[in-house]
Structure 1
Amino acid sequence: MLSERYVPVNPLATAGFHVIGYFLNWGLFGALCVQVFLYYWAFPKDKLFLKLVVYGLFALDIIQTALITKDAFFKFGTHFGNVTIFASLENLWFSVFVINATSGAIVQLFFAYRISVLSKSRIVATLVALLAVAGCAAGITSGVRAKISRVDNLSAIAFGTKTEFSVWLSISAACDIVITACIVTILSRNRGNGLKKTDDTIRKIIWVTVETGTLTTLVAILTMALTIAFPEKALCTILMDIIGKIYSNNFLVILNRRMMIVDGRSIVTQSETQQDSFCFSSPNTNRSATSETITEVKIEQQVWPKNNDSKEEDM
């Protein structure tokens, strides 16, 4: 069982980190809403399996944001002035530990499936799937252990569960590294076929994969380092609140990368008034040079003449 004697109670040191974590979580949730909106309009013909993954992640993020908002109102609203509440656990065991571990595992399992399809080999895909499941199990275990403990102090909980927490984040980081390396290797082998458009598309996908994989890996490693180095200050709460949102946003960024913006900018004379309207066309598989579907986002311009011109026409 956890005990508060492990780490001195320092609730004031955790209050500011809580606020930063809440703000970042809300901001990333807003970005995720935009990503899901774009996906909904741009890719209505995606497979049902892919849609279930996207909307399932979105549902988990809605639940997490609602629980975090409830905790924020409880600590800084109804119990404002009670400094001991700042370090209380509340719903963090589920909103941060369980949901973040589940969201990360869902994204990693999806990429394990994609690796098996692209490489036509189940060995690496199985390794990625095992790492994803093991990391998810460690994350859920740390959350359950924090819940069943008799301690309601984040500093003591961070110290007492740092083993499970470190195992979860280290496995998650290793899984992200394996996923990034595998996808980059597979896509790199398909380059050099003489088609410039195909090579450019593959190069862009590689860069997006490296960027998103590097981001999740760095966040996991930094969170683990802060947990081990500064458990009494609960610095890790800043990144703990947004790990799941980072996985979800990165996943939607990769999916929405198939979308193209056509005629995004054009010259309009001073005698014209411009009103932009976005029109999402349906996916066209003939435009795709790879296995991914590219959808065009066309910006149409509606232009009206000035009032003087309209009067002259009437005369």
Structure 2
Amino acid sequence: MSSPLSIDNTMGAALIGSVCAAVLYGVSCIQTWYYYDRYPTDAWYIKYLVASVWVFDTIHQVLISHTVYHYLVSNYTNPAMLANIIWSVLLEVLFNSLICLLVQGFLTMRVWRMSNKNKILTFIVLCLVIAEFVCSVVFVVQSMQLQTWLELSQLKGLSMAVNVLAAAGDALIAASLVFLLRRSRTGFKKSDTMISRLIVFTVNTGLFTSICAVMSLVSIIVWGNTLIYVAFYFSLGRLYSNSLLATLNARQEIRNLADEMDTLSLSFRSGPSSFGSGSKKPTNISIVIDTTQDFVRDRAMTMTDSETESPITDLKDEV
């Protein structure tokens, strides 16, 4: 870092990042409570995943809060300390990477299941996820041996690699899920409505994390002698946790929307004839036919599900 230090783009940026991360942490706490309240019958490993993400989120928030407090409160009258690195700002990278690993690992599992266990695609995604985590661990181990921010600039390449791999992994996962979901369209309104909503969630969640990683990368390249990149990186893990929780918590809403559309469609079909003189028997026949078609469709979907994974049943059972 250059000398003398500019508070605005160093500790000021870290403070802004800490505040933004704290706000997102509050959102993740609410979402975590909502998840356990609404989905008590989820698979045990999904519950443990949510719990682990929340614990790492909490530890990360404590670490970055300690960092900001150390520089801006404890050493308020000691500006010389601004040149030195506090351990908490280095250790937070580890917990941020653990959150990313869990969330991206979960999404990789979904790519594997929805692609009918496509080994090549899953392997590529998994390599990006693991590579990001390994680079983060190496960064933490090496940075713990450093004393000043100037020395930390020697690890600029690792910092850039972490953000590049994060953005690439998010983009590939999102693109894979969107492609697989679009390919799974059945032509039936209920299932297609659910798939469309899932596509929107997939794009949105992948977009936010990718943009944050890219902005952190750009900040390192353009403003490498500042801590502007920290403002983005502090919030990256929080975006991962919130994207996971938002996807899990939106399941019932997506199903309800699809059910409402089916009900609305049925109400239009079962209305009185436009001629106004016919009996209601044709309408009843129409309802019977529609019900029969739905029954045949459900049977067909059940038979298909026994052979391969369906994004709809997979969503209900596991996500």
Return the TM-score normalized by structure 2: 0.76
1:241 is aligned to 234
Aligned residues: 261
Quote the residue 2:5 is aligned against: 10
- 8 A Cα contact 1:105 1:132, kept in partner: yes
Equivalent in 119, 123, 127 of residue 124 of structure 2: 127
Alpha-carbon shift at residue 290 of structure 1 (Å)? 4.3
SS at match of 1:293: helix
**Aligned-pair distance for 1:235?**
1.0
Matches within 5 A, 1:109-148: 109-120=105-116, 121-148=118-145
Query: Match of 2:184?
Result: 190
- Identical positions, percent: 25
Distance 1:17 1:87, change over 3 A: farther
The residue that corresponds to 1:98 in the other structure is 94
Residue 199 (1) aligns with residue 195 (2):
no
Over residues 81-109 of structure 1, what are the superposed CA-to-partner deviations in whole Å (9 max), with x where a residue is unaligned?
222334542111111x2111221121111
In structure 1, what is the equivalent of residue 248 of structure 2? 255
**Other-structure match for 2:62:** 66
Contact 1:109/1:129, CA 8 A, preserved across alignment: yes
Higher helix fraction: Structure 1 or Structure 2? 2
**Runs of 4+ residues over 4 Å off in structure 1:** none
Structure 1 or 2: larger strand share?
A: 1
Residue 45 of structure 2 is aligned with which of 41, 49, 52? 49
Counterpart mapping for 1:153-168 below 5 A: 153=149, 156-157=151-152, 159-168=153-162
Post-superposition offset of 1:182 = 0.7
CA RMSD of aligned residues (A): 2.2
Q: 2: distance between equivalents of 1:205 and 1:88?
A: 46
1:215 to 202, 208, 212: 208
2:228 is paired with a residue whose SS is coil
Local SS of the residue matching 1:54: helix
In the alignment, what sits opposite 2:290? none
CA contact under 8 A between 1:9 and 1:156: conserved in structure 2?
no
Q: Distance in 2 between matches of 1:82 and 1:40?
A: 45
Instruction: Give 1:293's aligned residue.
Output: 316
Q: Is the 8 A contact 1:173 1:220 kept in 2?
A: yes
What code does the residue aligned with 1:29 have?
Answer: Y
SS of 2:314's partner is coil
Secondary structure of 1:80's partner?
Answer: coil
Name the residue aligned to 2:23. 27
8 Å Cα contact 1:156-1:232 kept in structure 2: no
Specify the code of the residue in structure 2 equivalent to 1:236.
Y
In 2, Cα distance between equivalents of 1:40 and 1:86: 42
Provide the secondary structure at the position in 2 that maps to 1:161.
helix
Q: 176-185 vs 71-80, which deviates more?
A: 71-80
Question: Would the aligned equivalents of 1:9 and 1:232 in 2 still touch at CA under 8 Å?
Answer: no
Conserved 8 A contact 2:21-2:235:
yes
Q: TM-score, with normalisation over the residues of structure 1?
A: 0.77
Q: Could you tell me how far apart the structure 2 residues matched to 1:92 and 1:291 are?
A: 39
- Alpha-carbon offset, residue 162 of structure 1: 1.1
Q: Is the 8 A contact 1:17 1:238 kept in 2?
A: yes
CA distance in 2, matches of 1:203, 1:70: 42
8 Å Cα contact 1:15-1:87 kept in structure 2:
no
Gap regions ≥5 residues in structure 2? 258-310
Distance 2:167 2:148 in 1: 28
How far apart, CA to CA, are the structure 1 residues paired with 2:3 and 2:183?
54
* Structure 2 partner of 1:232: 225
- Aligned counterparts of 2:231 and 2:172: Cα–Cα separation in 1: 26
In 2, distance between residues paired with 1:8 and 1:156? 13
Could you tell me which amino acid in structure 2 is paired with residue 167 of structure 1? A
Letter in 1 for 2:174: T
Q: Gapped runs of 5+ residues in structure 1?
A: 264-287, 295-315
